[in-house]
């Protein structure tokens, strides 16, 4: 428990106005998108790596947990302060420090909002590809912690591919730099990749140098409608076999289409059982030919009911409306849901969608599936009311079988949301005991007192204060 004396010590570090202890303020930092809130005892809004270091040194000395937090948009409870302690907010560390046009890099603090970075570099004709759905609010530090993806990762890859150098405060308070600002470096172990995707359990990222690309000259978008998910999956396989890598290749199943048809008033025929949103980008002389080629392939070999190519930006936005309407549309089924993301080999996407449909019937719960067909990443939404204990039990039963099926198909229990607290139970199913023990040793070596984001990903120590 944080005493008044400890609160005063924290105020000496960050300034009294940046240490929040009133109930309303603490409640704002108690949650993420999992809807499993836990109140911190105090919120500390740090502004420098030195302040982060001093908070962690104090936590080690006095034995209270610290939970790093970006914008709180995660889906697995990664920033939720389960055992009270301090919610360590990095929202004040929100500066783009430099954009190097000669070397195609940007150096930013971890609290920079992802879409702000997009806008800043695109003004200079540059491009930062990772585009998580929450990019208008999520932060670069959170993206690094979760190794965030997004629709464009089918062509461009996930956050990990763009992180060149990090400034990290270790759980014991030391500040280190990992990686280099050069494209090549094999100087020692790759600590940068160790921290990317570690969900704030191994260190607090305070600054990152990110790789940029030249901004694509243009993009073209097509919407393809199918009578079944099998037909849509065949179309995806056809595109990939032809060695065409779209910038995005999104899919929606029949249940999600039915939701958005009613919610957004979209003119989608009742016969549509699946859809693909296909986007290509690059040089203007190539993308037109690519989208036309894809359209022909999908129509001829993918059994598409129809293929519509956007003629301008307004038309492109109209084609994307269905995909962007899903989250709001799902509220028509249930105000709450169990939101999971899984990933399977691309060829197994139709098998996984069929298995999800079977489990929806077996457990008598609505399940909506959509996601990134180009890399096999499915967002599986089990629509249950958390106030209905029986429905929640059936929903969690369905989730367990979904994870079992995912692993049987050679997939992973998380494509981009991470493990957090929501999937701790399932991680050993994928890693096995030996790999999990190696992870535990790494955690113990870097965080011997177990004060940084305890209980997330793996449980090495008993949760402090539990």
Cα angle 455-434-412, degrees, rounded to a multiple of 5: 70
Residue 390 has pLDDT above 70, yes or no: yes
pLDDT at 302: 66
Q: pLDDT class for 66, splitting at 50, 70, 90? A: very high
Mean pLDDT to the nearest integer, 101-129? 98
Number of other CB atoms surrounding residue 459 within 10 Å: 14
3-state secondary structure of 120: helix
Name 426's bridge partners: none
- Judged on CB neighbours under 10 Å (0-12, 13-18, 19+), 354 is middle
Residue 50 has pLDDT above 90, yes or no: yes
pLDDT at 261: 85
Q: pLDDT class for 226, splitting at 50, 70, 90? A: very high
Mean pLDDT to the nearest integer, 247-260? 91
Mean pLDDT to the nearest integer, 342-351? 91
pLDDT at 240: 85
Instruction: Kindly report the pTM of this predicted structure.
Output: 0.93
* CATH numbers and ranges of domains, the chain: 4-91 (3.30.43.10), 96-214 (3.30.465.10), 218-328 (3.30.70.2190)
Identify the H or E element spanning 239. helix 229-241
User: In whole angstroms, what is the distance from residue 139 CA to residue 153 CA?
Assistant: 17
Mean pLDDT to the nearest integer, 304-320? 91
Structure tokens at 205: 């990222």
pLDDT at 225: 95
Residue 465 has pLDDT above 70, yes or no: no
Name 165's bridge partners: 179, 209
CA distances from 143 to 115, 196, 255 (A): 12, 9, 29
User: In whole angstroms, what is the distance from residue 35 CA to residue 244 CA?
Assistant: 40
> What pLDDT digit, counting tens, does each position of 279-309 carry?
999 998 899 999 999 999 998 876 899 999 9
Pairing outcome for strands 126-127 and 213-214: antiparallel
Mean pLDDT to the nearest integer, 333-361? 91
Q: Which of 30-34, 60-64, 394-398 has the lowest mean pLDDT?
A: 30-34
C-beta separation of 144 from 159 below 8 A: yes
pLDDT at 461: 43
Q: pLDDT class for 460, splitting at 50, 70, 90? A: low
Residue 160 has pLDDT above 80, yes or no: yes
Identify the H or E element spanning 58. helix 49-62
User: In whole angstroms, what is the distance from residue 280 CA to residue 289 CA?
Assistant: 10
pLDDT at 211: 98
Helices (H), 371-457: 389-408, 427-446
User: In whole angstroms, what is the distance from residue 294 CA to residue 310 CA?
Assistant: 13
* Nearest CA among 197, 206, 176 for reference residue 446: 176
Residue 150 has pLDDT above 50, yes or no: yes
Structure tokens at 280: 């290509």
Highest mean pLDDT among 80-84, 294-298, 457-461: 80-84
Mean pLDDT to the nearest integer, 110-137? 96
Identify the H or E element spanning 24. helix 23-27
pLDDT at 350: 85
Residue 463 has pLDDT above 80, yes or no: no
Mean pLDDT of the chain: 93
pLDDT at 241: 85
Phi first, then psi: what are they for 206, rounded to 5°?
-115, -20
C-beta separation of 271 from 305 below 8 A: yes
């Amino acid at each position: 428990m944080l005493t008044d004396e400890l609160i005063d010590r924290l105020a000496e570090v960050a300034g009294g106005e940046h240490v929040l202890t009133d109930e309303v303020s603490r409640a704002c930092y108690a949650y993420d998108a999992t809807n499993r809130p836990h109140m911190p005892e105090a919120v500390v809004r740090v502004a420098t790596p030195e302040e982060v270091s001093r908070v962690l040194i104090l936590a080690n000395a006095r034995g209270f947990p610290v939970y790093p937090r970006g914008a709180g948009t995660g889906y697995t409870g990664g920033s939720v302060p389960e055992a009270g302690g301090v919610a360590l907010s990095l929202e004040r560390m929100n500066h783009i420090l430099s954009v190097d046009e000669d070397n195609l890099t940007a150096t930013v603090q971890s609290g920079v909002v992802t879409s702000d970075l997009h806008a800043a570099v695109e003004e200079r004709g540059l491009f930062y590809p990772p585009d998580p759905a929450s990019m208008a609010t999520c932060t670069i530090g959170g993206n690094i912690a979760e190794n965030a993806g997004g629709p464009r990762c089918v062509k461009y890859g996930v956050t990990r591919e763009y992180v060149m150098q990090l400034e990290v405060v270790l759980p014991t308070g030391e500040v280190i730099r990992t990686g280099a600002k050069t494209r090549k470096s094999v100087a020692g172990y790759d600590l940068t990749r160790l921290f990317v995707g570690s969900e704030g359990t191994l260190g607090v990222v305070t600054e990152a140098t990110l790789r940029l690309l030249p901004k694509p000259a243009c993009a073209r978008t097509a919407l393809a409608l199918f009578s079944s998910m099998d037909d849509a999956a065949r179309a995806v396989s056809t595109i990939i076999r032809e060695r065409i890598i779209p910038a995005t290749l999104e899919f929606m199943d029949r249940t999600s289409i039915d939701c958005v048809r009613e919610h957004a008033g979209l003119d989608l025929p009742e016969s549509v059982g699946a859809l693909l949103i296909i986007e290509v980008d690059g040089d203007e002389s190539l993308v037109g030919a690519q989208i036309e080629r894809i359209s022909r392939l999908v129509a001829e070999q993918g059994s598409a009911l129809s293929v519509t190519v956007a003629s301008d930006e307004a038309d492109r936005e109209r084609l994307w409306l269905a995909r962007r309407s899903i989250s709001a549309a799902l509220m028509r089924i249930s105000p709450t849901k169990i939101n999971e993301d899984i990933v399977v080999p691309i060829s197994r996407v139709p098998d996984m969608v069929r298995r999800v449909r079977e489990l929806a019937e077996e457990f008598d719960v609505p399940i909506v599936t959509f996601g990134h067909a180009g890399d096999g990443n499915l967002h599986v939404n089990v629509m249950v009311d958390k106030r209905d204990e029986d429905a929640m039990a059936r929903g969690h039963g369905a989730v367990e079988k979904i994870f079992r099926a995912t692993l049987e198909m050679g997939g992973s229990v998380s494509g981009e949301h991470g493990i957090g607290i929501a999937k701790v139970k399932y991680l050993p199913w994928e890693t096995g005991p030996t790999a999990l023990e190696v992870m535990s040793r790494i955690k113990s070596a870097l965080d011997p007192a177990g004060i940084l984001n305890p209980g997330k990903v793996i449980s090495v120590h008993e949760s402090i204060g539990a």
